[in-house]
Amino acid sequence: MKSLFNEAEYLEIRKRVENLQNDNARQWGKMTIAQMMAHCSIGFEKATGILPFEDKSNFIMRTLVKRIVLSAIKKGDLGKNQKTFSDYAITVDKDFDTEKKRLLENIERFYKYGEKNEIGRHPYFGKFSKDNWGALQYVHTNHHLTQFSA
């Protein structure tokens, strides 16, 4: 599985974000490119403690939904037009340059936290290994970069 904790995949994702332009064509969904970058940043910020951790897990999320998500990660495809958790939804306009800088900083912070094994529980899926975190963040970020032809 690809992982943002593998240097090659980390560098690949960084480069793809660096190459984003405000006019990249959206292939599906409703978010603008700046909203997409803000959406991706939330996941990194929750994983690294920049945003407060709120345990929103329950039995169904920790078992059934977690298995479905891990299966999608193994396939490398999250599917298009999936429902977004409300605390990850971005509905207000965002500034492209600000969000690009924020996302690049968050990707780097996440990678460094992984080097130190400081990634912990997932807000919805509970106990989540470092390998699961790295793979989830790779697949999720790749999914949204592909959404914008990057």
CA distances from 49 to 65, 79, 110, 119 (A): 23, 27, 10, 9
Checking 70-73 for CB contacts under 8 A at 24+ apart, the result is 70/132, 72/139, 73/1, 73/132, 73/135, 73/136, 73/139
Do 119 and 3 meet the contact criterion of CB atoms below 8 Å apart?
A: no
d(CA 45, CA 36): 14
Q: What is the pLDDT of residue 7?
A: 96
pTM value is 0.91
Q: What is the pLDDT of residue 38?
A: 97
Do 53 and 121 meet the contact criterion of CB atoms below 8 Å apart?
A: yes
Q: Which residue numbers in the chain have pLDDT < 70?
A: none
Q: What is the pLDDT of residue 74?
A: 86
User: Going by C-beta distance under 8 Å and a sequence separation of 6 or more, which residues neighbour residue 3?
Assistant: 9, 131, 134, 135, 137, 138
Q: What is the pLDDT of residue 33?
A: 97
Tokens 């960084």 correspond to: 14
User: Going by C-beta distance under 8 Å and a sequence separation of 6 or more, which residues neighbour residue 16?
Assistant: 145, 150
Q: What is the pLDDT of residue 78?
A: 79
d(CA 138, CA 144): 10
> What residue type is assigned to position 48 of the chain?
T
Instruction: Name residue 126's beta-bridge partners.
Output: 122
d(CA 73, CA 78): 7
Q: What is the pLDDT of residue 101?
A: 98
